[in-house]
Amino acid sequence: MKPLFISEETETFRADLAATARSLYEQGWMPGTSGNLSVRSGEAVLITASGRSKRTLCEHDTVLVDPDGGSPLTGESEWPSAETSIHLAVYRGLSDASAVIHAHTPYATALATLAGTGEGGGRVVFEELELAKGLGVADPLRVELPVLANWTDVQRIAADAAAHLDPMPSNLAPALLVERHGVTVWGATLDQARDRLECVEELSRLALLTADRSNPTALGANR
């Protein structure tokens, strides 16, 4: 296997990942060791390490991995997040995605749980909400997010994510939900991915606040 090109900005990326993770912890979206962030670094992927508190995360708690297999590259002392495969599925499916964030934000997680089917195939639809423009989709008047099953084997979640992206859906929203597990978003930069995370969380809050509880499909068109 030929050596991977590693970006000269890797050390800057390490600091950016750590700072963003700490700020998301302070926002209450990455409690304890939950959640993970990654960016492309040349031909490799830089991701937060497994089992590290986001409250105290530093640049040394990040790992460069092979984008094909997800294994740490030579010289890395930490082990990557257990959800690395989900990040890699996004990068493989979308050439314009350069940053991925997975977080257990409360409203998106609650909405995903209510709209899930237990075996995947669920979906959440945001209709005629002005805020949806923040996701950068072609038609913000109707934005649909998939709700993936929360398999114990994370590789199965990654496979479901890859299947969602191939073939690429029309009006693709840069996010997917995982039942009882949270939300994964992506963007061209880490800042854009974070903006989209905030947008999905607020859309989820609005959906929960305005849903008609008498309608069994009001919290997501999953049937």
Q: Is residue 69 located within the same domain as residue 121?
A: no
Report d(CA 22, CA 54) in Å as an integer.
5
Question: Band of the pLDDT at 114, cuts 50, 70, 90?
Answer: very high
Model pLDDT for residues 34-53, shown as the tens digit of each residue:
999 999 999 999 999 999 99
Rg (CA), the chain: 17
Q: Is residue 113 located within the same domain as residue 60?
A: no
Percentage with pLDDT > 90 across the chain: 83
DSSP string, 184-223: EEEESSHHHHHHHHHHHHHHHHHHHHH--TTSTTTT----
What is the extent of the structural domain holding 130?
Answer: 104-212
Total Cβ atoms within 10 A of residue 5 = 10
Query: How high is the pLDDT of residue 219?
Result: 55
Report d(CA 124, CA 140) in Å as an integer.
14
Amino acid at 19: A
For residue 44, give the CATH number of its domain. Answer: 3.40.225.10
Q: Is residue 19 located within the same domain as residue 66?
A: yes
Question: Band of the pLDDT at 216, cuts 50, 70, 90?
Answer: very low
Mean pLDDT of 17-34: 96
Mean residue pLDDT across the chain: 92
Q: Is residue 20 located within the same domain as residue 52?
A: yes
- The DSSP secondary-structure symbol of 168 reads P
Report d(CA 119, CA 46) in Å as an integer.
30
The answer to whether residue 14 scores a pLDDT higher than 70 is yes
Model pLDDT for residues 117-134, shown as the tens digit of each residue:
888 789 999 999 999 999
Mean pLDDT of 23-29: 96
Q: Is residue 58 located within the same domain as residue 137?
A: no
Question: Band of the pLDDT at 78, cuts 50, 70, 90?
Answer: very high
Q: Is residue 147 located within the same domain as residue 187?
A: yes
Residue where a domain terminates, one of 82, 113, 142? 82
Domains in the chain, number = 2
